[in-house]
Amino acid sequence: MKTLKFTAQLVDKILSGDKTSTWRLFDDKDLKNGDELIFINKDTGNQFGTAKITSLKVKTLGTLADEDWVGHEKFSSEEEMYETYKRYYGDMVNKDSEVKILTFNFKK
């Protein structure tokens, strides 16, 4: 099974049911609709659940629409969003970066 890592802050949002989607840039796992996933707490290395991808869309960060934010954490500004993803993926993140928008069913 493929694994996805999340910061402790996002783990809490997933466990509470507030977060039901995730965005992944520069997909090195070849994520596809229907994939079964193991969710890992990035800070501890521990598995905290499993999930199945129920829908997948590919866009660029610069073309995100309101519906792409459903089930995803919000940022205070576009600048905060880009800075957050640069911390995860490096300085090559920009409005033209391809993002996979994954909606998932989570199981503890």
pLDDT digit string, tens, across residues 37-90: 999 999 999 999 999 999 999 999 999 999 999 999 999 999 999 999 999 999
pLDDT digit string, tens, across residues 8-24: 999 999 999 999 999 99
**Under CATH, to which class is 2-107 assigned?**
mainly beta
Look at residue 29 in the predicted model and tell me its pLDDT: 96
The domain spans of the chain are: 2-107
Closest to 58 in 3D by CA, of 86, 32, 93: 32
d(CA 15, CA 24): 19
Residue 3's pLDDT band, with cuts at 50, 70 and 90, is very high
Assessment of whether the complete model's pTM goes beyond 0.85: yes
Look at residue 50 in the predicted model and tell me its pLDDT: 98
